[in-house]
Chain A
């Protein structure tokens, strides 16, 4: 049984827009997958279905054995605790320190301070920011802020890390830092990573599996794939 299984998946929004149209996709445990394609082709919609921000209109989306479409609203949090999510716009809380931001998921689960601290420090070590625990987000560079987000996503030791254009706001140099962190998480912890990106250089350099969407349809799916000339947006 594959870790992520998407079968004949359609997503039609209330306004009538069809964002995905009959997707079939399987992703194994420990894979690192890029999802690329033009703006509006359904990349974000696809990963939103993985963390049940959206429900498929038709077809199946199964993540770690959980049938997302059948998951009741009140149980969504159980799925979310099993995965980490990273966004382009960080979504850090400005009034909390780096430590408190990373501790946020554990705190809201009601864990003990003595349980929280080692896990937060471990996650911050993973992204190389252990010495920044007392800083506030606005005192950090954009690349560091994104690494704090990755630490927060990893603090629950999820099996799956979902990233929606995590380097979209970063310059090439900082993007590379962030990609190195993601690569080491994938290699060392075996965490499955699904990452939406527009960044040609990253995709071409990393030589990972690349899934290309075109108007909600799977256009190509290549191991060690690359951006091709005509696909640049």
Chain B
């Protein structure tokens, strides 16, 4: 079949060029490798941080204590206001009688002391327990609720946790910037490598044109060259992703930063990450060569 023969020849040509311009190819491949290792690190860290903050967020609660003279009607009004806040996931109300009953159930000592309290002498406060959707907005949501009428005080997550969450956010954003910059540099390097190949083969290309080779067939080998540069550059990052992560998981016993962050188990997701790296390598490589081919292989 004609198309298959052309395809096969182009693949063959593209691969041969990779090895013919060895020093230049090596530079492109190395750059791709470094970039993809960083991409892999960025992805693995964000997956872990995300799962960790999800865990955190799940546990983060705001407890709202009502004024002692507040009534059940006040509670209803405030519950509705709280439910209207965007970051609020769930709200649970417990009157001071309910709290008392719960505490009495927890220990005999409590039970003995609290048993003598009646509705008027009960020193506990009516309270709401609120679960939020995102750790990030915890602070703001709590401050908002504190302003409400008939609210005495609020208690919420420790400052440390919030600071960590926002620090991770900053790290994640700067990693994205660095990775994007590296991807651009890689594309340029690959594009430059292809440019050199195009120049070194300009006689052949000129003859191809003169004897009636279609543009597509002339260009195809160069696209494959970029494709292979990207693919070869992704091999080491892929191995690092799969084996490196498994190794790290075993070594660290599944926790990062002395038991603060539980690592995500190295299941199928490392292979998904590996596939993403392969795809990025291939796309960056083809994009780099496409740029060069468009610029230097005009007819």
Task: Please determine whether B208 and A85 come into contact, CB atoms closer than 8 angstroms.
Answer: no
| Contact among B210, B215, B217 with A85 in the assembled complex (CB-CB below 8 Å) | B210
Which residues of chain A come closer than 8 Å to B295, judged between CB atoms? none
Q: How far is A79 from B209 in the complex, measured between Cα atoms in Å?
A: 11
- Indicate whether A230 reaches chain B with its CB closer than 8 angstroms: no
The stretch of A28-36, A69-77, A207-215 in contact with B is: A69-77
Q: How far is A152 from B208 in the complex, measured between Cα atoms in Å?
A: 12
Task: Please determine whether A80 and B209 come into contact, CB atoms closer than 8 angstroms.
Answer: yes
Task: Please determine whether A104 and B2 come into contact, CB atoms closer than 8 angstroms.
Answer: no
- Indicate whether B6 reaches chain A with its CB closer than 8 angstroms: yes
Task: Please determine whether B299 and A108 come into contact, CB atoms closer than 8 angstroms.
Answer: no
Task: Please determine whether A110 and B9 come into contact, CB atoms closer than 8 angstroms.
Answer: yes
Answer whether A104 and B207 are a contact pair too, CB < 8 Å, given A76-B299, A110-B2.
Answer: yes
| Contact among B3, B5, B212 with A112 in the assembled complex (CB-CB below 8 Å) | B5
Pick the most buried of A51, A108, A111: most chain B CB atoms within 10 A of its CB: A108
- Indicate whether B204 reaches chain A with its CB closer than 8 angstroms: yes
Q: How far is A108 from B204 in the complex, measured between Cα atoms in Å?
A: 11
Task: Please determine whether A108 and B208 come into contact, CB atoms closer than 8 angstroms.
Answer: yes
Tally of A interface residues using CB under 8 Å: 23
Name which residue of chain A comes closest to B6, CB basis: A110
What are the interface flags for A99-116 relative to B under an 8 Å C-beta threshold, 1 for contact and 0 otherwise? 000001101111110000
Task: Please determine whether A73 and B299 come into contact, CB atoms closer than 8 angstroms.
Answer: yes
Pick the most buried of B3, B203, B206: most chain A CB atoms within 10 A of its CB: B203
Task: Please determine whether B5 and A105 come into contact, CB atoms closer than 8 angstroms.
Answer: no
Pick the most buried of B206, B210, B211: most chain A CB atoms within 10 A of its CB: B211
Which residues of chain B come closer than 8 Å to A77, judged between CB atoms? 209, 212-215
Task: Please determine whether B204 and A93 come into contact, CB atoms closer than 8 angstroms.
Answer: yes
Answer whether A109 and B299 are a contact pair too, CB < 8 Å, given A91-B206, A91-B207, A93-B203.
Answer: no
Task: Please determine whether B212 and A91 come into contact, CB atoms closer than 8 angstroms.
Answer: no
Task: Please determine whether A110 and B3 come into contact, CB atoms closer than 8 angstroms.
Answer: yes
- Indicate whether A122 reaches chain B with its CB closer than 8 angstroms: no
Pick the most buried of B210, B213, B214, B217: most chain A CB atoms within 10 A of its CB: B210
Task: Quote the shortest CB–CB distance from B204 to chain A (angstroms).
Answer: 6
Name which residue of chain A comes closest to B8, CB basis: A110
Which residues of chain A come closer than 8 Å to B2, judged between CB atoms? 109-111
Q: How far is A107 from B210 in the complex, measured between Cα atoms in Å?
A: 14
Instruction: Give residues 3-42 of B contacting A (CB, 8 Å).
Output: 3, 5-6, 9
Task: Please determine whether B211 and A152 come into contact, CB atoms closer than 8 angstroms.
Answer: yes
Which residues of chain B come closer than 8 Å to A152, judged between CB atoms? 211
Instruction: Give residues 51-97 of A contacting B (CB, 8 Å).
Output: 51, 73-74, 76-82, 85, 91, 93
Task: Quote the shortest CB–CB distance from A96 to chain B (angstroms).
Answer: 9
Task: Quote the shortest CB–CB distance from B272 to chain A (angstroms).
Answer: 37
Answer whether A105 and B212 are a contact pair too, CB < 8 Å, given A110-B5, A111-B2.
Answer: yes
Q: How far is A13 from B46 in the complex, measured between Cα atoms in Å?
A: 59
Name which residue of chain A comes closest to B207, CB basis: A91
Q: How far is A105 from B209 in the complex, measured between Cα atoms in Å?
A: 9
Name which residue of chain A comes closest to B7, CB basis: A110
- Indicate whether A175 reaches chain B with its CB closer than 8 angstroms: no
Name which residue of chain B comes closest to A73, CB basis: B299
- Indicate whether A192 reaches chain B with its CB closer than 8 angstroms: no
Task: Please determine whether A80 and B211 come into contact, CB atoms closer than 8 angstroms.
Answer: yes
Which residues of chain A come closer than 8 Å to B6, judged between CB atoms? 110
Q: How far is A93 from B204 in the complex, measured between Cα atoms in Å?
A: 7
5 A-B pairs with CB atoms under 8 Å apart are A80-B210, A80-B211, A85-B210, A108-B211, A109-B2
Identify the A interface with B (CB < 8 A): 51, 73-74, 76-82, 85, 91, 93, 104-105, 107-112, 152, 156
Nearest first, the 7 closest Cβ-Cβ pairs linking A and B are A80-B212, A81-B212, A105-B211, A110-B6, A110-B2, A108-B213, A110-B5
